[in-house]
Structure 1
Amino acid sequence: MPIIIVINDFPEVEDESEYEQLCAGVRLGIEQILTFATKKSNKLEYIAVITGKDSNAHVLSHLTRDYGSIRENLDRLTLPEKIDWREIISCINELIFEEWMMDGKTFVFCLVGERPTKLSKSRKRPATPEADFYFKFEFESHIQIMIMAEDGNMTKRYYEKVLAGNNQKGSIECVNWQNNDTISKKFTSSISLLSPPHIVTLLCGKISCQVQLYPPVKPFFGIVKHEQVNKRIGSKLKIYGFISLNDLASPPFFSKHFLIPTGSRTEDAPKKEDDRGNVPNVTVLLHGSLKVRQMAAVVQLAPNWFGLICSCSDSKKKSNLILYVLEAGSEPVTWLGDFTSMMISNELSDNNPFLSEKKSPFPIKTDERPSYNQPTISWIKSSGVQADIQKVVRFAKKLPEKENLFYKEVNRVKKAALSYGFTSLILGLSDILEREMTSNDSLSSSAKDHLSRTVAALRSPAACNVDFIISSK
Structure 2
Amino acid sequence: MPTVFLVDASLSMCKPVSLQDRAEPMQIRHLAAEGLNHLLQYMAIHCKLEFCSVVVFSSLWEVVEPFTRDFDALRDRLTRLQFYDKTNIEVGIEGAKHAVLQEWGASCSCQIVLVTDGCTPRCLPQLNSPLFPFPCKLHIVPLCEPGSPQLKASLPFYQKLIDSTGNGAIVLPEGGLSLKSVNQAFVSIGESSYVSWQGRLVCGHLESHVTLCPPPDPQIKRVYDFEQITVKMSDTIEICGFMSIPDVAHPATVSRHLVLPIPAPKPDQSETSPTPENAQLRIEDGGMDDEAADDGKQPSFCVLLHGSLKVESMVAVCKLGASWYGMLYSWADSKKKSNLMLSTFEPGEGSVPWWTSVSSLGSNMIEKLKLPIKPAEKPSYSMNSVVWIRTTGLQADIQKILRHARKLPEKMSAFYKELNRLRRAAISYGFYDLLETMSSILERECTLLPGTQHPEAALQLSHAASQLKVTAGELPDIDTPIAPLKTKLSSSYMD
TM-score relative to the length of structure 2: 0.60
Runs of 5+ in structure 2 lacking a partner?
Answer: 18-22, 266-278, 386-413, 419-495
Any idea what SS the aligned residue of 1:173 has? coil
> 325-334 or 196-205: which moved more?
325-334
Residue type of the partner of 1:96? V
Residue type of the partner of 1:299? C
Distance in 2 separating the partners of 1:263 and 1:81: 50
- On the 8 A contact 1:104/1:140 being kept in 2, the answer is yes
Any idea what SS the aligned residue of 2:232 has? coil
Matched residue, 1:43: 48
Query: Which of the two has higher C-alpha Rg?
Result: 2
1:111 to 112, 115, 137: 115
Distance in 2 separating the partners of 1:341 and 1:364: 14
Matched residue, 1:32: 38
Residue type of the partner of 2:113? F
- On the 8 A contact 1:89/1:135 being kept in 2, the answer is no
2:317 to 265, 290, 298: 298
Distance in 1 separating the partners of 2:319 and 2:35: 41
1:156 to 151, 162, 169: 151
- On the 8 A contact 1:44/1:65 being kept in 2, the answer is yes
- On the 8 A contact 1:89/1:134 being kept in 2, the answer is no
1:5 matched to 2:5? The reply is yes
Distance in 1 separating the partners of 2:33 and 2:169: 22
Q: Residues 57 and 310 (structure 1 numbering): CA distance in 2 closer, same or farther, change over 3 Å?
A: same
Matched residue, 2:256: 256
> 280-289 or 57-66: which moved more?
57-66
Q: Residues 196 and 335 (structure 1 numbering): CA distance in 2 closer, same or farther, change over 3 Å?
A: same
> 133-142 or 72-81: which moved more?
133-142
Q: Residues 276 and 21 (structure 1 numbering): CA distance in 2 closer, same or farther, change over 3 Å?
A: farther
2:95 to 91, 94, 97: 91
Residue type of the partner of 1:321? L
CA displacement at 1:238 relative to structure 2: 1.3
Matched residue, 2:238: 238
Distance in 2 separating the partners of 1:70 and 1:271: 22
Distance in 1 separating the partners of 2:325 and 2:13: 55
Distance in 1 separating the partners of 2:254 and 2:288: 41
- On the 8 A contact 2:120/2:154 being kept in 1, the answer is no
Matched residue, 2:190: 191
Q: Residues 179 and 279 (structure 1 numbering): CA distance in 2 closer, same or farther, change over 3 Å?
A: farther
Q: Residues 4 and 365 (structure 1 numbering): CA distance in 2 closer, same or farther, change over 3 Å?
A: closer
Runs of 5+ in structure 1 lacking a partner?
Answer: 349-353, 379-406, 412-473
Q: Residues 296 and 61 (structure 1 numbering): CA distance in 2 closer, same or farther, change over 3 Å?
A: same
- On the 8 A contact 2:211/2:262 being kept in 1, the answer is yes
- On the 8 A contact 1:25/1:177 being kept in 2, the answer is no
Q: Residues 276 and 294 (structure 1 numbering): CA distance in 2 closer, same or farther, change over 3 Å?
A: same
Residue type of the partner of 2:32? V
- On the 8 A contact 1:256/1:325 being kept in 2, the answer is yes
CA displacement at 1:173 relative to structure 2: 1.7
Q: Residues 209 and 155 (structure 1 numbering): CA distance in 2 closer, same or farther, change over 3 Å?
A: farther
- On the 8 A contact 1:61/1:73 being kept in 2, the answer is yes
CA displacement at 1:318 relative to structure 2: 3.5
Residue type of the partner of 1:228? E
CA displacement at 1:363 relative to structure 2: 4.0
Distance in 2 separating the partners of 1:136 and 1:362: 43
Residue type of the partner of 2:121? K
- On the 8 A contact 1:254/1:326 being kept in 2, the answer is yes
> 28-37 or 66-75: which moved more?
66-75
Distance in 2 separating the partners of 1:44 and 1:117: 34
- On the 8 A contact 1:7/1:110 being kept in 2, the answer is yes
Distance in 1 separating the partners of 2:174 and 2:66: 26
Distance in 1 separating the partners of 2:188 and 2:299: 32
